[in-house]
Amino acid sequence: MLKNLKKFSDPIYVTRPLLPDLNLLNKKLEEIWSSNWLTNNGPQHQLFERKIREYLKVPQLSLFNNGTIALVVGCQSLRITGEVITTPFTFPATPHVLTWNNIKPIFCDIDPVTLNIDSAKIESMITPQTTAILGVHVFGTPCDVKGIQEIADRYGLKVMYDAAHAFGAEIDNIGIGNYGDITMFSFHATKLFHTAEGGALVFKDKNLKQRVDYLKNFGIKNEDEVVMPGINGKMNEIQSALGLLVLEMVEGEKQKRKLLKETYIECLKDVEGITVVNTNKGLNDSYQYFVIRINEKVFGMSRDSLYGKLKEYNVFTRKYFYPLCSEYSCYKNLPSSSRSNLPIANQVVGEVLCMPFYGGLKVDEVEIICNLMKNIQRSK
């Protein structure tokens, strides 16, 4: 520990969930109790589904018990098979959803700036077995949706997006869920908007809504008919009620995060070897993460050492998405997982660090964290 630098008395985590006033939640629970309806498309679910669809500015939306199941159902709804081209720089759920659908993930390298799948490299990964592209809007930065759609149209492929980090992100005022054939959102507690656990699948095709809703409810059509092998992907009334309350808090939370982001950018602007990932200029930001990259040579210390040092001061950052999915034992033997196929992803994964970022964090705490980083750099 460095002299004159104090450890935070309480741990500072990378995020904290938005928690609505307990009295408001109790009121909602009273409504649910008096309705005697806990799940299966109850009144809270119906209201929440409409509100969230409006917020995300998308034509069709189905709620789910989590984002992973939403994406599993998304693949089923589009009848995706064979191989799907995706990114290795993501949360395990993305390729695992493919595997759970008996689909082979094919890893494509990432763009060095956006850290999303590199649309210029997708075409070379296409084989006769390819049926779709699954992009991830990593850290809320939109993929090259135009470039990806052009390739998909040329080869007759479907396009799916994992927008777990991109709640409320927009491109030219168009909700991010309007791109591709389906998009998944996660409402996990770590996300800016959440329902404790939860998620949604969004799409434009009106005809898909019925199929998605059957698939998330065991394929049940009515009391007499089960029309397809569905799963249980339903969001319940308590999750929906929580979502309605958290939705009211999202704009306020975004404003607080905007100020924290500006503070980080200002405090870190002269630190050699640290760059801020995608400030999303001109795009409507999801404010999901604040991410930096450490250039070990210039900063004088590796990302891992900085991560460890910050921990000593009770600052808990995250090395998202280390390790790369292509390094997991279940995927590392795939030909597309070779390091020579994924040079950028393998470099980036050793450089990124997600900083503490949530509305409850104070501006002066961000200043102290940045100051700590500068002192750690000077002391090495």
> Considering the rule CB under 6 A, would residue 66 count as an interface residue with ligand PLP?
yes
Burial of 252 (0-12, 13-18, 19+ CB in 10 A): exposed
**Amino acid at the residue 83:** E
> Considering the rule CB under 6 A, would residue 131 count as an interface residue with ligand PLP?
no
Closer of 68 and 116 to ligand PLP (Cβ): 68
Closer of 86 and 263 to ligand PLP (Cβ): 86
> Considering the rule CB under 6 A, would residue 164 count as an interface residue with ligand PLP?
yes
> Considering the rule CB under 6 A, would residue 318 count as an interface residue with ligand PLP?
no
Tell me how far apart the alpha carbons of residues 331 and 312 are, in angstroms, rounded to a whole number: 34
> Considering the rule CB under 6 A, would residue 186 count as an interface residue with ligand PLP?
yes
Q: What residues contact residue 268 under an 8 Å CB cut-off, 6+ apart? A: 274, 276, 292, 370, 373
User: Rounded to the nearest whole angstrom, what is the least distance from the CB of residue 295 to ligand PLP in the complex?
Assistant: 25
| Interface positions, 70-129, toward ligand PLP (CB under 6 A) | 90-91, 93-94
Closer of 91 and 313 to ligand PLP (Cβ): 91
Q: Which stretch binds ligand PLP (CB under 6 A): 100-108, 158-166, 274-282, 328-336?
A: 158-166
Q: Which residue is nearest to ligand PLP (CB)?
A: 67
Tell me how far apart the alpha carbons of residues 148 and 85 are, in angstroms, rounded to a whole number: 11
Determine which residue in the list 162, 170, 181, 213 makes contact with ligand PLP, applying CB under 6 A.
162
User: Rounded to the nearest whole angstrom, what is the least distance from the CB of residue 80 to ligand PLP in the complex?
Assistant: 17
Determine which residue in the list 95, 175, 180, 199 makes contact with ligand PLP, applying CB under 6 A.
199
User: Rounded to the nearest whole angstrom, what is the least distance from the CB of residue 38 to ligand PLP in the complex?
Assistant: 21
Closer of 133 and 368 to ligand PLP (Cβ): 133
User: Rounded to the nearest whole angstrom, what is the least distance from the CB of residue 164 to ligand PLP in the complex?
Assistant: 3
Nearest residue to 145 (alpha-carbon basis) of 168, 175, 186, 167? 175
> Considering the rule CB under 6 A, would residue 352 count as an interface residue with ligand PLP?
no
User: Rounded to the nearest whole angstrom, what is the least distance from the CB of residue 68 to ligand PLP in the complex?
Assistant: 3
Determine which residue in the list 15, 44, 62, 68 makes contact with ligand PLP, applying CB under 6 A.
68
Tell me how far apart the alpha carbons of residues 95 and 324 are, in angstroms, rounded to a whole number: 11
Closer of 164 and 306 to ligand PLP (Cβ): 164
Number of residues near ligand PLP (by CB under 6 A): 14
> Considering the rule CB under 6 A, would residue 188 count as an interface residue with ligand PLP?
yes
User: Rounded to the nearest whole angstrom, what is the least distance from the CB of residue 162 to ligand PLP in the complex?
Assistant: 5
Residues of this chain that bind ligand PLP (CB under 6 A): 66-68, 90-91, 93-94, 136, 162, 164-165, 186, 188, 199
